[in-house]
């Protein structure tokens, strides 16, 4: 048996080589990484929601996909023409207020802010915050580039989902032939990726929506100003595990202090603790059979490394990618919920019958 045949028969070594080749290709295509990730996320979420419509409303998958994208386009039109200008105005007002409040705090808060300011100025936190804020504003201000990426991802995901069966049928043709082993290994990693990254990102989105709805209702009851901007901030920060809660708590606490003093800050902290408890002990176990349960130290290390490698995207996709690697290495296999497996089997049945 020659070296090539030994290599092909050594499945573990072969898959390591294939994985390294995929990583190299993605590194060479790193300028398109945002497009690839967004397209995957849109495709995954739309197919999941289309499957939900098929089960509940008995709509064909193609009809469900068309309805979803029509709803997305309508929402985008309303957002651009009505809500985005409102959010920009409220965000500008919120930023101005935060700056003014920091520069001219009330008498009660003056000593506290001086202590915090002295601590920040003598530590590395200032540099980290400046880098983070600069990065956020860089991505927010480059609306044109991100807008084009968003539209292209939406466009590509639409054609992928609308031709889902044809895509699956055509892709299976790569699993036969002299190089079938290579594509079989890619299929193995793709299945793992959907099972881990896809399920985790779906969980993050559902948790972000639930957190945003609950928190927004509480803030509305407290009569907090700039509600649209705060809701958008809460949704985006809810996509970032652990760190997102801390980041979103700062502007909410400052604005809450201006509205109701220390009492409102206490209310906001209690509200965030309740929402975080709901996320940890109700939503995560309900949505996933075995949640990731990373220690906080590992979570922050993964977020720092992912932000360095992928930029702002890393804060959202860092934990799902790390979960995928843990699954590949066999350190902590992630199994989807029974409901997810049942939907997956039902999705495969028509293909097998064909």
**Whether residue 170 sits in one domain with residue 95:** yes
Tokens of 265: 């800050």
Tokens of 308: 């360095």
**Whether residue 197 sits in one domain with residue 165:** no
**121 occurs within a structural domain:** no
pLDDT tens-digit map of 63-96: 889 999 998 888 888 777 776 676 666 666 666 6
Please tell me the predicted confidence (pLDDT) of residue 21: 92
**Whether residue 299 sits in one domain with residue 191:** yes
Tokens of 160: 């992928």
Label residue 350 by pLDDT band (50, 70, 90). Answer: very low
Asked if residues 160 and 336 have their Cβ atoms less than 8 Å apart, the reply is: no
**Count of domains forming the chain:** 2
Question: Where is pLDDT greater, at 139 or 179?
Answer: 179
**Whether residue 229 sits in one domain with residue 158:** no
Please tell me the predicted confidence (pLDDT) of residue 106: 54
**Whether residue 78 sits in one domain with residue 35:** yes
Residues 6+ apart with CB under 8 A from 9: 1
**Whether residue 329 sits in one domain with residue 189:** yes
**189 occurs within a structural domain:** yes
Please tell me the predicted confidence (pLDDT) of residue 99: 65
Radius of gyration of the chain (CA): 23
Domain end: 122, 151, 175, which one? 175
Could you say which DSSP state residue 223 is in? T
HSE of 183 in the Cβ direction (CA atoms, 13 Å)?
Answer: 11
**Whether residue 189 sits in one domain with residue 326:** yes
CA distance 25 to 48: 28
Compute the mean pLDDT over every residue in the chain, rounded to the nearest whole number. Answer: 75
Domain end: 129, 159, 175, which one? 175
Residues 6+ apart with CB under 8 A from 333: 326, 327
Could you say which DSSP state residue 248 is in? H
**14 occurs within a structural domain:** no
pLDDT at 150 over 50: yes
What percentage of residues in the chain have a pLDDT greater than 90?
Answer: 4
pLDDT tens-digit map of 259-292: 777 888 888 888 888 887 777 677 666 665 445 5
**270 occurs within a structural domain:** yes
Please tell me the predicted confidence (pLDDT) of residue 70: 92
**294 occurs within a structural domain:** yes
State the Cα angle at 79 between 75 and 81, rounded to 5°.
120
pLDDT tens-digit map of 187-204: 988 888 887 777 777 778
**242 occurs within a structural domain:** yes
**245 occurs within a structural domain:** yes
CA distance 221 to 217: 6
Question: Where is pLDDT greater, at 222 or 112?
Answer: 222
pLDDT tens-digit map of 229-247: 778 778 877 777 766 777 7
**Inter-CA distances, 266 with 73, 108, 237, 262, 270, Å:** 40, 15, 20, 6, 6
**261 occurs within a structural domain:** yes
Domain end: 175, 201, 226, which one? 175
**Whether residue 247 sits in one domain with residue 171:** no
Question: Where is pLDDT greater, at 125 or 53?
Answer: 53
pLDDT at 352 over 70: no
- Expressed as residue numbers, the domain containing 154 is 31-110+140-175
**Whether residue 100 sits in one domain with residue 48:** yes
What percentage of residues in the chain have a pLDDT greater than 70?
Answer: 70
Please tell me the predicted confidence (pLDDT) of residue 351: 43
CA distance 218 to 140: 27
What average pLDDT score do residues 126-142 get? 48
**Whether residue 202 sits in one domain with residue 310:** yes
Tokens of 208: 């972000």
**Whether residue 157 sits in one domain with residue 55:** yes
**Whether residue 275 sits in one domain with residue 158:** no
């Amino acid at each position: 048996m020659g070296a090539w045949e030994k290599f092909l028969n050594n499945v573990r070594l072969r898959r390591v080589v294939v994985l390294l080749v995929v990583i190299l290709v993605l590194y060479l295509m790193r300028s398109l990484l945002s497009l690839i990730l967004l397209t995957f996320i849109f495709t995954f979420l739309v197919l999941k929601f289309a499957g939900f419509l098929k089960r509940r409303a008995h709509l064909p998958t193609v009809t469900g996909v068309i309805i979803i994208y029509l709803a997305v386009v309508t929402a985008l039109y309303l957002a651009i023409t009505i809500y985005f200008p409102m959010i920009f105005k409220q965000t500008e007002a919120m930023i101005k207020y935060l700056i003014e409040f920091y520069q001219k705090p009330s008498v009660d808060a003056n000593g506290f802010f001086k202590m915090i300011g002295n601590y920040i100025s003598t530590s590395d936190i200032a540099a980290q915050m400046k880098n983070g804020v600069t990065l956020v504003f860089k991505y927010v201000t480059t609306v044109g580039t991100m807008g084009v990426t968003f539209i292209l991802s939406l466009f590509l995901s639409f054609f992928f989902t609308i031709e889902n069966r044809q895509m699956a049928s055509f892709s299976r043709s790569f699993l036969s032939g002299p190089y079938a082993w290579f594509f079989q290994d890619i299929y193995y990693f793709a299945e793992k990726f959907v099972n881990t990254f896809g399920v985790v990102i779906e969980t993050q989105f559902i948790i972000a929506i639930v957190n945003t709805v609950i928190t927004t209702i509480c803030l509305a009851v407290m009569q907090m100003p700039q509600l649209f901007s705060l809701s958008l901030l809460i949704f985006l920060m809810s996509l970032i595990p652990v760190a997102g809660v801390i980041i979103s708590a700062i502007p909410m606490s400052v604005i809450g202090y201006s509205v109701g003093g220390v009492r409102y800050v206490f209310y906001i902290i209690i509200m965030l603790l309740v929402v975080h408890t709901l996320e940890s002990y109700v939503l995560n176990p309900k949505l996933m059979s075995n949640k990731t349960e990373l220690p906080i130290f590992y979570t922050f290390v993964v977020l720092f490394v992912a932000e360095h490698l992928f930029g702002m995207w890393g804060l959202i996709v860092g934990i799902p990618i790390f979960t995928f690697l843990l699954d590949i290495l066999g350190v902590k296999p992630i199994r989807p919920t029974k409901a997810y497996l049942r939907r997956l089997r039902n999705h495969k049945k028509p293909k097998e019958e064909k």
